[in-house]
Amino acid sequence: MTYTVNGNTFDAEPNPGQCLRTFLRSLGCHGVKKGCDAGDCGACTVWLDGDPVHSCITPAFRAEGRAVTTIEGLGSPQDMHPMQRQFRDGPGFQCGFCTAGMIMTAVALTDSQRQDLSRALKGNLCRCTGYRAIEDAVHGVAEIEVARPGRVIGTSVGAPAGAEVVTGRAEFTMDTAIDAMLHLKLLRSPHAHARIVSIDKTAALAVPGVHRVYTWEDVPRKRFTTAIHNDHLVDPSDTYILDDVVRFVGQRVVAVLADTVAAAEEGCRKVVVEYEVLPAVFDPEAAMADGAPQLHGSHDPFVHDPEHNILLEIHGHVGDVEAGFAEADVIHEGTYSSPRVQHAHLETHGSIAWIEDGRLHVRTSSQSPSIAKNKLGYLFDLRPDQVRVFCKRVGGAFGGKQEVITEDLVALAALDTRRPVCFEFTREEEFTTASPRHPMSLTVKLGARTDGTLTAIQVRNVSNTGAYGNHGGETLFAGGAAVACYRCANKKFDAYSVYTNSVPGGALRGYGMTQPAFAMESAMHELAVALDMDPLELRRRNIVRPGDGLVAFDDGPDDVMFGEDGLSRCIDLVDDALRRNAVEPPPGAEWLIGTGTASTLHETAPPTDHLAEAWLTLGDDGSYELAIGTVEFGEGTLTAHVQIAADRLGTTPARVRLVQSDTDRTGFDTGAFASAGLFVAGNAVLRAAEALRDRMLFLAAEHAGVDIASCAMDDTGIVCGDRRVSLSELIEVARGRGIRLTEARKAFGSPRSVVFNTHGFRIAVHRMTGEIRVLYSVHATDAGVLINPAQVRGQIEGGVAQGIGFALTENFHVDTNGVMVNPNLRNYRIPAYADIPRTEVLTVDSADSVGAMHSKGIAECCINPVAPALANALEDATGVRFRALPLTPERIYRRLIPVPVRPEPCGN
């Protein structure tokens, strides 16, 4: 067959049934991405004779004799297509995994299609941006600014990899080809709870191309936790690489290694497993009851109460809540539930491992290569110098890649066979086996006087951690911040993390606070209604202020501090915005209009030990090399790091070269999660930059014979009084003295400050169908100093979009046997362009943060107030309170009390 790809014609024969996506990637067109392999996400979009198609559902043979164009053929970093420049300058991307497909669709749009992007972009999904930036990029609206030397903070500079992302040259995890690479696939459990009686490998090993079949008897029998934290003891070591007991549908049973993916999948089908099916329990309240099936035996030292399947329980209080309720004039109590939510990052989990020079190398999609390396060393008895873990660009994460769930198996197989091994999740595996947000049920009881003063806050939180602990304990602790947002003399917080025969929960944006925020802020709105008080006024009267205690879980010191009242300023901004933006409702008497708000507090770093190290070096060419272990997956942390370094070194971001996320080439970094990439690693970069600057100034002053106080950095040298020492001259001076101009500094995640957020919605609800339309959306955040305003806006818009999905569309359906029945993007329904309104983003310029340059990480927390603000607006519109998410139309219309239809005006 003859193919023409990006203007090059050649003869090739696709494999039988091969899709165009895998065929093009085999030719080296790695800009064609795999997001779903079902035609749902658009990340694989290419042109056939100029028309965009989803290459994952297009047979390769249909491209014979036709012109195929991929993102690589549209333009290069040196010669971009105008649309590629618009996406770079928008910037119309964050992680960039969807960007190639989005651009290929956008370029092909007609003028009329550009005016109806809701329809034109319905086949392209983005999980990061919230779509506003993509819309602006399509229309040529630019936000990227050029920074002046040493005047970088507060400037919306572009991402260092921007040109590579928009031209399809940026390397993601699987964008490589290695000779003789083997492929690994998994046979997973069909049962929610069972003991493996026997496994017969015979037929699987007879499949042509199959090399190994691994069972629980073939792997190290070491307990570990897949969760990534610097202190592994905060998570239970309750997991084996492969086990002889399965505790949820989809758990690993057998790993098959073969020459091709198809052979590995066939090998999985040929394995014969005999199970002894055991009783299962899916509801956490039932799991805590006497006589419930036990998931982890009583011998397990990591389980708080194995008889009742309680991984961990925590209790914190201040004052006396019973006395507080006795003082109350009004008491409100309600139970609120939040479902599982999948991260749905478009790049699925995946890792590649190989042996080189006797060392294990792992290329992976992870938020923490440093801790992944430590776990692999522990599991396989390897010294630190025997393991290298590194990341290229990561295609979204949102906490989902704060786990080790592919690295261990590729390491096992590579160490065994001494050949390269690849393991990549399917989209279905992401939904059924990767760690979603923990379902939580929270009972909130509030007491208040008639003037709105809170007298008591009591919260009981039951969290479903699933079959394994992972992040179950830490998210439970994080949820305690729900009661910290408001001052009250009497607070009580009781929480339980409970094992069930369900997919294990994990880390997801908001990390344990999103679910409690929905409960607490919904309850506050209901209390305001009971008091006949404006909900914002109720919050104003009770918000926590500098000097107030939060909530105590133990007698240890608290390292959280804040010195400014950021929350009241956020509330005022949202209140004013809602008053001045009177949006016209949809026409017709069937629409009910409502307004809702919510506020949250979030700590700026994890409560467990977080560490980052930065290395900065002045190179021989006069540019600076910044080596940092932080991973870039669209959060923009590395852009901020470059800005911090450039600002302190008196130069521009263009002169700072990045080396990132490679344990061979960078220092230790706990990981890019919980906004610590900016808050902690940003401080390490700041300290390293200041140390290198001071060293250069000292050397230049000594060389010029002047006082150091008269020296100042500029873009290409140092001004020393009346003389200027160029960087090249300084480098020669250092070389002559045997000095290397390099500095390394560490930073820790303590002390911490807090971020406040307030969100407001005005919505219309159709009284007959239950449809919700967002008429206006506004978000205010106490962001500290804005290092990159465009990135701050983009992160908030993306977080709001995910919050809207959490509240309205994303529904994790599980049947009575524990099987997810909608494991694909088409039926799970993350928001598309048409689902997301523009959000007005407002920021409070505060300076109480101990973060780098007084900045605060805001990407984590911006999701938290979104769902309760929507639920509160829904109650305001309908008079009906919905205490369970998601707020889907079918749930809404079934509960709407018939509301009289407003009569249409009569004509004469």
Distances (CA, A) of 220 to 121, 224, 226, 343, 744: 48, 11, 15, 30, 37
- Cβ atoms of 61 and 14 within 8 Å: the answer is yes
Q: How high does pLDDT run on average in the chain?
A: 95
Give the mean model confidence (pLDDT) for residues 872-876.
98
Distances (CA, A) of 526 to 15, 430, 445, 597: 61, 37, 11, 12
Express each pLDDT in 368-422 by its tens digit.
999 999 999 999 999 999 999 999 999 999 999 999 999 999 999 999 999 999 9
Distance of alpha carbon 56 from alpha carbon 52, whole angstroms: 12
- Cβ atoms of 826 and 760 within 8 Å: the answer is no
Distance of alpha carbon 34 from alpha carbon 96, whole angstroms: 13
Q: Which two tokens stand for residue 600?
A: 């949250």
**Which DSSP helix (H) or strand (E) runs through 684?**
helix 681-704
Distance of alpha carbon 189 from alpha carbon 186, whole angstroms: 10
Torsional sign, CA 340, 376, 606, 853? negative
553 pLDDT above the threshold of 70: no
Length of the chain, please? 908
CA atoms within 13 A on the CB side of 814: 23
Distances (CA, A) of 18 to 30, 57, 431: 16, 10, 24
For residue 772, which phi and psi values (nearest 5 degrees)? -110, 130
* DSSP code, position 292: P
Structure-derived torsion over alpha carbons of residues 320, 496, 226, 251, reported in degrees to the nearest 10? -170
Pairing mode, strands 387-390 and 359-364: parallel
pLDDT for res 900: 55
- Cβ atoms of 558 and 550 within 8 Å: the answer is yes
Query: Helices 681-704 and 727-736 meet at what angle, rounded to 10?
Result: 80
- Cβ atoms of 839 and 800 within 8 Å: the answer is yes
Pairing mode, strands 252-258 and 182-188: antiparallel
Q: Other C-beta atoms within 10 Å of 433: how many?
A: 24
Q: Which two tokens stand for residue 565?
A: 């009242």
Whose CA is closest to 314, among 234, 220, 375?
234
- Cβ atoms of 481 and 491 within 8 Å: the answer is no
Pairing mode, strands 454-466 and 491-499: parallel
Q: Which of 155-169, 575-589, 821-835 has the lowest mean pLDDT?
A: 575-589
* DSSP code, position 747: E
Whose CA is closest to 337, among 875, 884, 866?
884
608 pLDDT above the threshold of 70: no
Confidence of residue 300 (pLDDT cuts 50, 70, 90): low
pLDDT for res 405: 97
pTM of the model: 0.95
742-748: strand order across its sheet: 656-660, 624-628, 611-618, 742-748
Distance of alpha carbon 701 from alpha carbon 706, whole angstroms: 5
Express each pLDDT in 309-334 by its tens digit.
999 999 998 999 999 999 999 999 99
pLDDT for res 165: 98
Could you give the 3-state DSSP secondary structure of residue 353? Answer: strand
547 pLDDT above the threshold of 80: no
Mention every residue, 6+ apart, whose C-beta is less than 8 A from residue 240.
216, 219, 221, 222, 223, 224
* Strand intervals (E) in 438-575: 440-448, 454-466, 491-499
Q: Which two tokens stand for residue 633?
A: 């997956």
Q: Which two tokens stand for residue 39?
A: 């035609």
Q: Other C-beta atoms within 10 Å of 272: how many?
A: 11
Q: Which two tokens stand for residue 554?
A: 């133990």
442 pLDDT above the threshold of 90: yes
Whose CA is closest to 514, among 636, 387, 601, 631?
601
Whose CA is closest to 833, among 343, 136, 124?
124
Express each pLDDT in 620-668 by its tens digit.
999 999 999 999 999 999 999 999 999 999 999 999 999 999 999 999 9
589 pLDDT above the threshold of 70: yes
Express each pLDDT in 734-793 by its tens digit.
999 999 999 999 999 888 888 999 999 999 999 999 999 999 999 999 989 999 999 999
pLDDT for res 607: 72
CA atoms within 13 A on the CB side of 15: 10
For residue 187, which phi and psi values (nearest 5 degrees)? -90, 125
Give residue 280's identity as a one-letter amino acid code.
A
Confidence of residue 48 (pLDDT cuts 50, 70, 90): very high
Give the mean model confidence (pLDDT) for residues 174-182.
97
Burial class of 179 by CB neighbour count within 10 A (0 to 12, 13 to 18, 19+): exposed
562 pLDDT above the threshold of 80: no
Distance of alpha carbon 480 from alpha carbon 440, whole angstroms: 13
Confidence of residue 550 (pLDDT cuts 50, 70, 90): low
Give residue 612's identity as a one-letter amino acid code.
A
Express each pLDDT in 194-221 by its tens digit.
999 999 999 999 999 999 999 999 999 9
- Residue matched to tokens 């362009």: 833
Distance of alpha carbon 867 from alpha carbon 759, whole angstroms: 9
Mention every residue, 6+ apart, whose C-beta is less than 8 A from residue 842.
570, 573, 574, 577, 778, 779, 780, 781
Whose CA is closest to 32, among 633, 108, 634, 42?
42
- Cβ atoms of 624 and 657 within 8 Å: the answer is yes
Express each pLDDT in 460-496 by its tens digit.
999 999 999 999 999 999 998 888 899 999 999 999 9
Q: Which two tokens stand for residue 497?
A: 């993390």
- Cβ atoms of 230 and 244 within 8 Å: the answer is no
- Tell me what percent of the residues of the chain surpass a pLDDT of 70: 97
Rg (CA), the chain: 28
What residue spans of 462-556 are helical by DSSP H?
Answer: 472-478, 514-531, 535-542
Mention every residue, 6+ apart, whose C-beta is less than 8 A from residue 82.
none
- Residue matched to tokens 């096992």: 412
pLDDT for res 750: 87
Confidence of residue 24 (pLDDT cuts 50, 70, 90): very high
Q: Other C-beta atoms within 10 Å of 532: how many?
A: 8
Express each pLDDT in 479-488 by its tens digit.
988 888 999 9
- Cβ atoms of 445 and 458 within 8 Å: the answer is yes
696 pLDDT above the threshold of 70: yes
- Cβ atoms of 495 and 479 within 8 Å: the answer is yes
838 pLDDT above the threshold of 50: yes
Query: Helices 566-580 and 535-542 meet at what angle, rounded to 10?
Result: 160
**Which DSSP helix (H) or strand (E) runs through 187?**
strand 182-188
Distance of alpha carbon 762 from alpha carbon 228, whole angstroms: 39
Confidence of residue 98 (pLDDT cuts 50, 70, 90): very high
pLDDT for res 908: 35
Distance of alpha carbon 169 from alpha carbon 166, whole angstroms: 8
